[in-house]
Chain A
Amino acid sequence: MSLAERMLRIDRRIIFLVIGLCTLLPLLFPVGLPIKISSEVRGVYDYIENLPEGSVFLLSLDFDPASKPELYPQAIAILRHAFKKNLRVVAMTLWVSGTGLADQILSQTAKEAGKENGKDYVFLGWSPGGSAVILNMGQDLYNAFPADYGGKATKGLPVLAGVQNLRDVTYAVSLGAGNPGVEAWYVFGKDKYKFELGGGCTGVIAPGLYPLLRSGQINGLIGGLRGAAEYETLIGQKGKAVAGMDAQSATHLAIIVLVAICNLFYFSLRRQQRRHDGLGS
């Protein structure tokens, strides 16, 4: 058996081990590779940065724990920015399985920023209906969410003063891991009720959202862990996403090398077989 054949039949667990080490070692010994800010992430950051104090900022955490590694750092970075700018934060989720995680993210960030529940922020929780909840909120926010996550009536909360429906929201960001997510917020929210919308998403769905970005349907997009790292860099509070960037680069490099080597051995083997077939005939 030639070297090419042996390499193409390599035990896949060796590849898992290589990828595992390429991820683990940079996490243990970070190098601190530079992070370049993309225009799509800057779009979200600049809009929040330029909002006047007390503006209503709606954050929809449309993901569950399965997407935590990518969207949790995004949510933390955006909330830190919003609280720093003293915006009125209205958080919610369209994913029932993400309710607990969303509550934990908001409570943790608010506590860190010294913000008060009901006055500076509110977590509306989850309401059934998927995308229809957005339409319901566009008609009457209090009808969609009569009570917040803690069971307190939403009507009369200081943080929602002057807010009747989605038309009163200054800026909304959906951090989505699928459907309902960013697309639903555009289709049933921004397009109908005319508020500005930004998006954050997992890497898997990011390519599908770029057409919305180019056409101006969303004003910015934070894509995956990389987007979260850029946002952390912009707000000057480096967290889990920045820490993971070295590992991300190392694994990408390892995968590129593996793909190149695999192709090299594949073409080498094909050439050997053709030569063998030529000799045989």
Chain B
Amino acid sequence: MDLSFDVILGAWIATGLTLFILSFLYEDNPLFKLAEHLYVGVSLGYTIVKTYDTVVMTLIVHPILDKGEWSLLIPVAIGMLMLTRYVPKAAWLSRYAFAFIVGIGAGLAIPRTISSFILKQIEDTVRPLLAAAPGGGITFDYSLLNPASHLNGIIILIGVVSVLFYFFFSVEHSGPGKAVARAGILFLMISFGAAFGYTVMARMSLLIGRLTDLIEFSDASYGRPTLWLFLLTVATLIVLSRRGNAHPPKQ
């Protein structure tokens, strides 16, 4: 397999930075710091360049100069008011820009969020506990594996009510109320457990992704960067560790 120079160079850089970042698992070291600073710098630089190209050039400069869309100067002027924050005497002008952004943002988000996350979710929580059967009569679905089953509907209803009661602090949680609040804690613990389980899965997926790439880049067609850079990283860590032992930091 013949690979172009830029692909091979990319593989060496990716492998080196991956190993440098993973070296933090042993201990904090200059290689990790180098990779960390490069990551922050490159991602910020990339974002600035893309934003400049897309916003300033494509959406502002070209339409104004090529198509004469001078009305675009109005949002540009509002945006420029943001920069007055750097001039103490004119900083008050930036409030107009913020007022515009907050007003537009709240106006757009509030009705849509209420509709999507509150009304729709309430509608789903209080759905009928029984369903009409096609041939007459009523049915009840007991399947725990079907998220939309009636049994799961009842469990969700109990969960929502008990968790809401748990966070209702105006009434003392005693007697029957204590049982409901305890049920609420139980539902919360289950949801935290599920969220943590998914988080562990996601973090392991990231490790799998990096190790998959390291295995791929250990191929001879790339010049075996995984092998050479692993040796380099280990050697550097040994040297740094010995130097640290020889010159312990002053207390």
Contacts and interface: CB of A to CB of B under 8 A. Distances in A.
Interface of A: 13, 16, 19-20, 23-24, 27-28, 39, 64, 68-70, 72, 96-97, 99-100, 125-128, 131-132, 135, 146-147, 151, 183, 186-188, 191-192, 202-204, 206-208, 210-211, 213-217, 223-226, 240, 243-244, 247-248, 251-252, 255
A207 B206 contact: no
Chain B CB within 10 Å, residue with most, of A203, A248, A252: A203
B58 interface: yes
Interface in B86-115: 104, 108-109, 112-113, 115
A96 B51 contact: yes
A248 B43 contact: no
A243 B212 contact: yes
Contact of B54 (A126, A207, A213): A126
B238 to A, nearest CB: 15
Contacts of A210: 147
A168 to B, nearest CB: 21
B26 interface: yes
Nearest to B147: A214
A215 B124 contact: yes
Contacts, number: 138
A207 B195 CA distance: 6
Given A70-B209, A207-B191, A247-B208, A13 B117 contact: no
Contacts of B109: 131, 187
B120 A223 contact: no
28 contacts: A13-B25, A16-B25, A19-B207, A23-B208, A23-B211, A27-B211, A68-B209, A70-B205, A96-B51, A126-B50, A126-B54, A128-B55, A131-B109, A187-B115, A192-B112, A202-B205, A203-B198, A203-B199, A213-B147, A214-B124, A216-B124, A244-B208, A244-B209, A247-B208, A248-B208, A251-B204, A251-B208, A252-B201
Given A13-B25, A97-B46, A192-B112, A70 B202 contact: yes
Contact of B202 (A127, A132, A203): A203
Closest 6 CB pairs of A and B: A69-B209, A203-B202, A215-B124, A225-B205, A244-B208, A203-B201
A125 B208 contact: no
A188 B47 CA distance: 24
Contact of A69 (B51, B55, B58, B205): B205
A229 B21 CA distance: 27
A192 B47 CA distance: 30
B210 interface: yes
Q: What does DSSP make chain A's interface, helix, strand, loop or mixed?
A: helix
Interface residues of B, number: 46
A27 to B, nearest CB: 6
Q: What does DSSP make chain B's interface, helix, strand, loop or mixed?
A: helix
Nearest to B46: A97
A244 B213 CA distance: 11
Contacts of A226: 201
A261 B120 CA distance: 44
B2 interface: no
Given A69-B206, A208-B195, 17 more contacts: A19-B204, A69-B212, A97-B50, A128-B51, A147-B58, A187-B109, A187-B116, A188-B108, A191-B120, A203-B198, A204-B199, A204-B202, A213-B147, A214-B147, A215-B121, A224-B205, A226-B201
Interface in B141-188: 146-148, 156
B45 to A, nearest CB: 11
Interface in B115-129: 115-117, 120-121, 123-124
B38 interface: no
A203 to B, nearest CB: 3
Contacts of B112: 187-188, 191-192
Nearest to B54: A126
B232 interface: no
Contacts of A64: 43
Contacts of A216: 124
B200 A255 contact: yes
A252 B117 contact: no
Nearest to A245: B208
